[in-house]
Amino acid sequence: MTLAEIEAALEERLLAINPAIATAFENKTFTPVAGTEYQRINHLTNTPVDHAVTLDVTEDRGILQVSLFYPLDKGRVPAKTRAQLIRDQFKPPLTLTKGTGKVEILKTPSIGSGFPDGDRYMVPVSIYWRSFQTP
């Protein structure tokens, strides 16, 4: 499974949450609409781990970082409610497939403390994943 397939599987799962909100993807132009919420996706890949005596099994690991941006002065509940929806959508144990590969979610996603960011209130959600590659 390639990193592009891993990222696609994770994004598909995230975008299946209802109701949908606007999404800012990596390396794509995005202009948020004033007064509305949106989410930003970043893929944070970690150093691969080579397993087995022959080193022919590679464990790819990373974090799907979802940053939720909500209008200021509306309280924290709307952003935290969305964060909980994401957490529930990626509840472990979860295996996502794309092509012939699998991505595993074995840890409950973490919801960070919210803080002001420009004209928005931002809440980070971190989704930890791993995928094993064999020849």
Q: What is the mean pLDDT of residues 14-29?
A: 98
Percent of the chain with pLDDT over 70: 99
Domain 3-133 CATH assignment equals 3.30.2000.20: yes
- Please report the beta strands in the chain, taking only residues with DSSP state E, as ranges in sequence order: 22-24, 38-45, 49-51, 57-71, 94-98, 101-105, 110-111, 115-117, 120-133
Give the model confidence (pLDDT) of 60-71 as tens digits: 999 999 999 999
Q: Name the average pLDDT for the chain.
A: 95
Res 72: pLDDT: 96
Q: Tell me the domain boundaries of the chain.
A: 3-133
